[in-house]
Amino acid sequence: MAQHIIIAGGGSAGWMAAALFARLRPAPDTRITLVESDAIGTIGVGEATIPILQHFNRLLGLHEPDFVAATQGSFKLGIEFVDWGETGNRHFHGFGDFGPPIEGVAPHHHWHRLRAAGRIAKPIDAWSMPARAAGQDRFAPPEALRGEAAEYSYAYHFDAGLYARLLRDYAEARGVTRVEGRIVTAERDPESGDLTALLLEGERRLAGDLFIDCTGFASRLLGQALDTPFVDWSRWLPADRALAQGCARAGRFTPFTRSTAHAVGWQWRIPLQHRTGNGLVYSSAYLSDDEAAARLAANLDGDAIGDPRPLRFTTGRRDRFWAHNVVAIGLAAGFMEPLESTSLQLVQTGLVDLVELLPGTGRADPAIVAEYNRKTIGQYERIRDFLIAHYCISRRPEPFWRDMAAMTLPDSLAHKLALWDAMGRVPLYDRESHAEASWVAVLLGQGRIPRHHEPSADRPPLDALAQLFAQRRAVLEAALPRLPAHDHLVEKTCRADAA
């Protein structure tokens, strides 16, 4: 099957696919061609990621300081949520836990017990190393510390267009061929239904064996050529518009993304070296485009750069991600708003799973295709539930938020929240993208306090527990001064104009 892989579309998704296949060819003689048109724009906004992208870059052999400099990047310890849950609320979803288990029980259960007994009053963020470092705009990789204070991870912010350019250079240096041109249509085998070739403008024909659809929302191959249905999730995630807007850097150079809720959605802030990326996500049923543009303009850190870029979308996924000899990656496969920076995560996991399952030659067994679809559907659904949870537990009074709080939840999320409310435990399903600590950060951060904690958390004496929590706080306090300021570290190690 994989003698000639054709990647339709560029951007981050297309060039991530090209780079990974160039690094891990299904067979030594596999040819890789990427087709894109300079006339077709990409989303190309400032991108925030999660720590998994470190593994992708390491697999390619990209040197971190060079990668950050080439993409005008910065570092990310997590996401600060402002006005979620209720106006005035502020909490942090960091890439780390709240301390080690105590007698085999996760620390948030002991925090709950101490809080109920009146022994502590601080939010659980106070025991998160990423949250504490982010609050002081400090950052260094965890290797700079030792012990409990070093038990965290990190991700990146970067210019998505510059990342695609970096990956293009990488892929072309390893034998990937780029073809410039628009795709007019796709040719199919009348018997098998497989794609046999892409027909390009200028009456050009490009034959292939495996086709990777990275054509964005258009989903030219999986969605259009193969007529694969779209599964609409807008009843749970009704935001359908976004405006992206860059602005001059001003104020804090934060090692975190900020998400600020507003009356009908939320606004992102992504700090890059050369600018700050901003965007407003909203529902057109509650807010007009003009009102959205005015709201975004009023909440920029610095002077606007260019005009806001509008984006219209429907949240959901394709019924299948691999059909016949076509695999959709990125926006061609589905879309979920960037609330938890999962866009490139889904690109990466989709590609890595494909590389692991793809035979070097011949057609893939139907069982392999079914397994790929099962795994990918599961991951999309788990991320969907995590995003819904940010909305449905809100206590904000505006109509948009009241409607979100009143929705009928997917059964998987309804069970998760019911068990959380009963005893503070988060059941994790197959292909879960976010660990228990992430759910804890969001649920407790928005004030969703469970009725009780895990019964086994009652074993340690309260005095001993209080001492352990005080010790944890002292460890973090002692470690913070050893971390440099985020802007200082970027300036010294990965400044873009030094690349």
DSSP labels, 419-450: HHHHHS-----TT--S-HHHHHHHHHHTT---
Tokens of 84: 């979620």
The answer to whether 242 and 36 have CB atoms below 8 angstroms apart is no
Q: How far apart are CA 340 and CA 47, in angstroms?
A: 11
3-class SS of residue 308: strand
Handedness of CA 137, 141, 144, 149 (dihedral sign): positive
**Buried b or exposed e, range 112-141, using 16+ CB within 10 angstroms:** bbbbeeeebeebbbbbbbbbbbbbebbbbe
Going by their DSSP bridges, the two strands 155-159 and 46-48 should be labelled as antiparallel
The answer to whether 200 and 206 have CB atoms below 8 angstroms apart is yes
Q: How far apart are CA 383 and CA 155, in angstroms?
A: 18
Short-list 120, 118, 116, 141, CA closest to 130: 141
Going edge to edge, which strands form the sheet with 177-180?
177-180, 31-36, 4-8, 210-213, 326-328, 322-323
Q: How far apart are CA 138 and CA 486, in angstroms?
A: 5
pLDDT of residue 498: 56
Tokens of 302: 């610095």
Residues found in the chain: 499
* Number of Cβ within a 10 Å radius of residue 154: 23
Q: What is the DSSP letter of 96?
A: B
The amino acid occupying position 446 is Q
124: phi then psi, degrees, rounded to nearest 5: -65, -20
Going by their DSSP bridges, the two strands 74-76 and 155-159 should be labelled as antiparallel
Short-list 242, 240, 238, 247, CA closest to 298: 247
Short-list 380, 404, 400, CA closest to 390: 404
* Number of Cβ within a 10 Å radius of residue 235: 11
Rounded to the nearest angstrom, the gap between the alpha carbon of residue 293 and the centroid of all alpha carbons in its chain is 24
pLDDT of residue 279: 97
Q: How far apart are CA 435 and CA 44, in angstroms?
A: 29
Q: Using only C-alpha atoms, what is the Rg of the chain?
A: 23
Q: What is the DSSP letter of 491?
A: H
Tokens of 430: 């197959």
Q: How far apart are CA 7 and CA 20, in angstroms?
A: 12
pLDDT of residue 42: 56
3-class SS of residue 6: strand
The answer to whether 391 and 237 have CB atoms below 8 angstroms apart is yes
3-state percent helix, strand, coil for the chain, nearest multiple of 5: 40, 20, 35
Write out 356-391 in H/E/C secondary structure: HHCCCCCCCCHHHHHHHHHHHHHHHHHHHHHHHHHH
Return the bridge partners of 281, or none.
242, 266
The answer to whether 314 and 19 have CB atoms below 8 angstroms apart is no
pLDDT of residue 41: 60
Q: How far apart are CA 83 and CA 268, in angstroms?
A: 13
pLDDT per position in the chain (499 positions), as tens? Answer: 569 999 999 999 999 999 999 999 988 899 999 999 987 665 556 689 999 999 999 999 999 999 999 999 999 999 999 999 999 999 999 999 999 999 999 999 999 999 999 999 999 999 999 999 999 999 999 999 999 999 999 999 999 999 999 999 999 999 999 999 999 999 999 999 999 999 999 999 999 999 999 999 999 999 999 999 999 999 999 999 999 999 999 989 999 999 999 999 999 999 999 999 999 999 999 999 999 999 999 999 999 999 999 999 999 999 999 999 999 999 999 999 999 999 999 999 999 999 999 987 778 999 999 999 999 999 999 999 999 999 999 999 999 999 999 999 999 999 999 999 999 999 999 989 899 999 999 999 999 999 999 999 999 999 999 999 999 999 999 999 999 999 999 999 999 985 4
